[in-house]
Amino acid sequence: MQTVKASLFVLLGLLLLAGCASTQENDILENKVPGTAMLTGTVTAPTAFQAARVYARNTDKNIIYMVYTGEGRYQAVALFPGPYEVWVEKTGFESDRQEIQIEAGEVLNVDFSLREAAPQSAGQGTFMGLERGSRAKDALLLPYDELYPEAPIRSLMEKTCIQCHGQSFLPFFHRSTGEWDEAIGTMLESRIPPGTINAAQRQELAQYLSSHFGPDSPDRYLKMDVELPIDEAALSKAQYIEFLLPLDKGRSRRWLQEVHIDFEGNVWYTERIAPHAVGRVDPRTGQIDEWVLPDPEADPHGLTVDSEGWVYWAESKKEHLGRLNPKTGETERFSFDETGTLGFLGGHTPVLDSQENVWSTIIRGDALAKWDRETHKIQIWRVPTQFSMPYGLDLSPDDIPVLAELYGCKVAVFNPETEEFTEYPALVEPPCKTRRLGIDSKGIIWYGVFSQGKLGKLDLKTGEQVEYDMASRFAEPYSVRVDRNTDTIWISDGGMGGTLIRFNPETEEFTYYPTPRRSDMPKIDVSGDGNVWYSTRSLPDGGIGVLYPDKSKIETLAIQR
């Protein structure tokens, strides 16, 4: 009887092993992109872990691939052939780096064994092209009240400096009182609305900043107050790819602002380090091309591309809408103010309507602009709130322009027939900032409250307005973009260390996808098949990246519009 029992246990064990093997085999992906390769393997460690990051960097093409482990296994698809450096990152562990060669059509297995290392606290991301590499790694991580000690002037600093730049911007500057006063003066000239700071407050603010962030102060930044929720099942299905842009003597670092998908399978970007340019990445080959603007100091903030291939950019410093024909190199510029009577008009975010007219926010000048495709003339409409700094822009399915007012912290809806605006303030108590928004297929507006870690929903048909808390109160939802095929909401956030976030309107749940490198991402674009494109503005070696939420669906590297 004992022998029979033992035999039954052996048989049961074999069946269970067979079942596990079958499940594991069914999970193995197929590489569907011709001419590329696949990397797989296991990651082990002395103690349990979830969602380790596995990196593969093509050193010839300067492309980074990153995937997450699921139950210790990983799979990366659609890798270009060539030499690679591969490694694993996970808080509390470290791994050796390996150099490998990947051939086209190959399925290469590389395993990693992690060692325990000192755990590292998570810090907030940085803002506006100011990720400081080794300085950031060695910086002190402090809670908010230690980073910014309580003082009567602190609330004004929060309203003016932190609300726009984020909580980890100021501590990397080391300035005297006079230098801080000069910086405040610069902001008063172009960014801080008149009447916000009087002379006594300006002096008190400069003294506060120099006492905490003076010439001899250490590098510091904000310690994250929470850990990002980990959904290993979702993360292990995803794959990131980043195309790093080249550096040279003429441009020693990058400052990449907006991205936009064209009709030919490419993604475009604006470069705000002089000489200012627009550029194109072809993800099918990794080819990068750039065109310096006619005015190399125009500061192209945003761009869009029409069905004929014309690339349009809005100049924030030189008051023009420009366009480029990349096939011929032809360029044209159209003044926002041909009469010269409207004051300074700094362009921001251009968007095409269904007739391929170009609408653009005017961040300096508090206005909305429209370039008419037939006449090539530009109309200007002022928003009701002065010094509101119109920022992000989207058009509804029926061509209604909707603006995010940065300093106004409002959503503004423009009626092209009556030429009137209706403004909807955010629900949170001021001070607050709204940067970008998106509109779903039903016409519902989704916006981010950058300074208070919230995603907002505004339904004009029902009047419903609600704001959802994100994982951290220090989250900085910058760009909000809607996949109108599924009405999935995507958000970019630098405040939690750099993450793309998916929001499901039906379940009202967030899923967080931390990016391969710490950065803010000032604008995202979503492809027709639901992949998310972004730029890494905060990194000197900036890149254009994409998140594939489901890498099993990658069948081509061309972008579907």
Q: Indicate which CATH number applies to the domain containing 397.
A: 2.130.10.10
Residue 271 lies inside a defined structural domain of this protein: no
Q: Indicate which CATH number applies to the domain containing 89.
A: 2.60.40.1120
Q: How far apart are CA 471 and CA 229, in angstroms?
A: 8
Q: Peptide bond preceding 81: is omega within 30 degrees of 0, i.e. cis?
A: no
3-state class (DSSP) for residue 474: coil
Region 268-278: mean pLDDT is 96
Task: Give me the percent of the chain exceeding a pLDDT of 90.
Answer: 79
343 or 122, higher pLDDT = 343
3-state class (DSSP) for residue 236: helix
Residue ending a domain, among 189, 222, 255, is: 222
CA 272 to the chain's CA centroid: 16
Residues 8 and 58 in one domain: no
Residues 157 and 81 in one domain: no
Residues 109 and 201 in one domain: no
Q: Model's pTM, two decimal places? A: 0.92
Residues 7 and 144 in one domain: no
Q: Which two tokens stand for residue 351?
A: 């968007």
Q: Which residues contact 91 (CB under 8 A, 6 or more apart)?
A: 119, 120, 122
Residues 104 and 176 in one domain: no
Region 412-438: mean pLDDT is 96
- Angstrom CA distances, 176 to 159, 213, 290, 508, stand at 22, 8, 39, 47
Residues 97 and 170 in one domain: no
Q: Peptide bond preceding 431: is omega within 30 degrees of 0, i.e. cis?
A: yes
Residues 440 and 530 in one domain: yes
Give the number of domains in the chain.
Answer: 4
Residue ending a domain, among 181, 200, 222, is: 222
Residues 15 and 58 in one domain: no
Question: Is 81 exposed, middle or buried, given 0-12, 13-18 or 19+ CB atoms closer than 10 A?
Answer: middle
Residues 64 and 211 in one domain: no
Residue 221 pLDDT: 80
Residue 122 pLDDT: 65
- Range scoring the smallest mean pLDDT among 10-24, 239-253, 339-353: 10-24
3-state class (DSSP) for residue 103: coil
> How many CB atoms are closer than 10 A to CB 71?
13
Q: Spell 243-269 as b/e; 16+ CB within 10 A means b.
A: bbbeeeeebeebbbbbbbbbeebbbbb
Residue 359 lies inside a defined structural domain of this protein: yes
Residue 345 lies inside a defined structural domain of this protein: yes
Residue ending a domain, among 116, 148, 167, is: 116
- Answer for the pair 313, 321: CB distance below 8 angstroms, yes or no: yes
Residues 143 and 16 in one domain: no
Q: How far apart are CA 264 and CA 467, in angstroms?
A: 37
Residue 506 lies inside a defined structural domain of this protein: yes
Q: Which domain holds residue 20?
A: 1-30
Using the predicted structure, report yes or no on whether residue 8 has a pLDDT greater than 50. no
Residue 281 lies inside a defined structural domain of this protein: no
Residues 82 and 206 in one domain: no
Using the predicted structure, report yes or no on whether residue 301 has a pLDDT greater than 50. yes
Q: How far apart are CA 94 and CA 52, in angstroms?
A: 10
Residue 405 lies inside a defined structural domain of this protein: yes
Using the predicted structure, report yes or no on whether residue 85 has a pLDDT greater than 80. yes
Residue 65 lies inside a defined structural domain of this protein: yes
Residue 194 pLDDT: 83
Residues 218 and 302 in one domain: no
Q: Which residues contact 342 (CB under 8 A, 6 or more apart)?
A: 336, 365, 380
Q: How far apart are CA 56 and CA 59, in angstroms?
A: 9
Element of type H or E holding 180: helix 177-190
Using the predicted structure, report yes or no on whether residue 3 has a pLDDT greater than 90. no
Residue 160 lies inside a defined structural domain of this protein: yes
